[in-house]
Amino acid sequence: MSRENEQIKKEMDEAIAQLEEQGIKYNNKDDLTGLGDAIESVLTGMGVTQERFKEWFNLKECNCNKRKKWLNNLFSWKKNKD
């Protein structure tokens, strides 16, 4: 690693340490949920699954996972661990 890269890494590590001291932490993906997850949960609770949706509309693929991911990226929040 070049001297310049070592200096950049050191500065980044210091910045991250300062942010963590202020209580700002990296969100683990497992700690997040989103709009797509919420919609899937509600629909599944009502008996609307991907398989049923495909059956009802005679589809090979419904792109439900793609929409769920898109919605999660649009709006997500940290899970409540209580």
Angle at CA of residue 47, ends 41 and 52, nearest 5°: 105
Domain that holds residue 23: 3-78
User: Under DSSP, is residue 62 helix (H, G, I), strand (E, B) or coil?
Assistant: coil
Beta-bridged to residue 77, according to DSSP, are 33
CA nearest to 69, candidates 26, 46, 39: 39
Question: pLDDT by residue (tens digit) across 44-70?
Answer: 999 999 999 899 999 998 889 999 999
Whole-structure pTM value: 0.60
**Is a pLDDT exceeding 70 seen at residue 25?**
no
Number of folded domains that form the chain: 1
